[in-house]
Amino acid sequence: MDQNVIEITGLKKRFDKSGFVLDLPRLAVREGYVTGFIGENGAGKTTTIKLVMDLLFPDEGEVRVFGREAHAFSEQIKRDLGYIGEQTGFLGQAKLRTLREMVKPFYPNWDDVVFRRYLDRFSLDPGKKFKDLSKGKQKQFALALALSHHPKLLLMDEPTANLDPLVRQELLDILADEIEQEGVSVFFSTHITSDLDKIADYILFLHGGKLLLEGEKDVLTDSHRIVKGRRELLTGEVERLLCGVEATEFGFRGLAGDPGAVHALLGDEALYEKPTVEDLFLGYTRRERGEAR
């Protein structure tokens, strides 16, 4: 299982109009795991996903999916890939059953039993038009289509946006089932970091077009600590060991990448808590923006 389903090397993608540059010397998504892709608005997540989907072409470097070059093998790759984009590109006027007819021929592994099972599970009426579904129901339909051809990789751009907490939890449960039963790999971007606390094995954190932090989620959260203490403990020396420091008259809070070094200075005078993915995200983003206090 030590394969990478996505492997990007030496990639550069520039948008002359906006001046944005995506610069990824190396990015890998491992087979059989859930990898969460986070980053602030405009960090380049959608651009990366579009490059993997061969909807954009790199200026430099290479994108490989299932070990094959993404552009040259685009058709073969897509057969094994379930994609849910930010905007579902379905023809809104079409009924769900018509959309099934349109999509099915592209996938040799199409499975009507799975498709019907998900329509039932999501209470989706095949006679309804896509445009008449709520945004959440549209996402569920997109997921039903994506899962009905037994993909090896689910590639999703903000799949849980616009979903109420119950539907979001159901989607996460479905992903967990698919991983367990079908061994599917999952790569998805999100702003809802609590979803990553729940199901991600790996985290890729993009900032300004570059990978800022990556690794196994448990290793990242175990190796960092949120440090809290009284305001007078926040000396310059302590502050240099923290990122994303928030301080008031009375106290402070900051993320430590080397908690041992902070403990050597503050000992048990401070509190040390395991961070969430959101804590990591905020700490590193603020550090990059030079926003600390």
The residues that touch ligand ATP, with contacts defined as CB under 6 A, are 15, 17-18, 20, 39, 41-47
Distance between CA 288 and CA 232 in Å, rounded? 25
Helical residues (DSSP H) of 148-216, grouped into ranges: 165-182, 193-199
Query: Quick one: tokens of 44?
Result: 């380049």
Distance between CA 191 and CA 204 in Å, rounded? 13
Question: Which residue number, 136 or 209, has a Cβ lying nearer to ligand ATP?
Answer: 209
Question: Which residue number, 15 or 107, has a Cβ lying nearer to ligand ATP?
Answer: 15
Distance between CA 57 and CA 134 in Å, rounded? 33
Amino acid at 161: A
Q: Give the nearest distance from C-beta 183 to ligand ATP in angstroms.
A: 28
Distance between CA 215 and CA 221 in Å, rounded? 10
Question: Which residue number, 182 or 278, has a Cβ lying nearer to ligand ATP?
Answer: 278
Question: Which residue number, 41 or 248, has a Cβ lying nearer to ligand ATP?
Answer: 41
Picking from 141, 39, 161, the residue whose alpha carbon sits closest to that of residue 47 is: 39
Question: Which residue number, 18 or 123, has a Cβ lying nearer to ligand ATP?
Answer: 18
Question: Which residue number, 14 or 71, has a Cβ lying nearer to ligand ATP?
Answer: 14
DSSP SS3 for 244: strand
Q: Give the nearest distance from C-beta 89 to ligand ATP in angstroms.
A: 16
DSSP SS3 for 242: strand
Q: Give the nearest distance from C-beta 254 to ligand ATP in angstroms.
A: 25
The single-letter DSSP state of residue 107 is -
Question: Which residue number, 39 or 257, has a Cβ lying nearer to ligand ATP?
Answer: 39
DSSP SS3 for 96: helix
Q: Give the nearest distance from C-beta 189 to ligand ATP in angstroms.
A: 6
Q: Give the nearest distance from C-beta 22 to ligand ATP in angstroms.
A: 7
Q: Give the nearest distance from C-beta 249 to ligand ATP in angstroms.
A: 35
CB 51 within 8 A of CB 58: yes
Residue 176 phi/psi, 5-degree rounding, is -60, -40
Q: Give the nearest distance from C-beta 168 to ligand ATP in angstroms.
A: 17
Distance between CA 45 and CA 60 in Å, rounded? 17
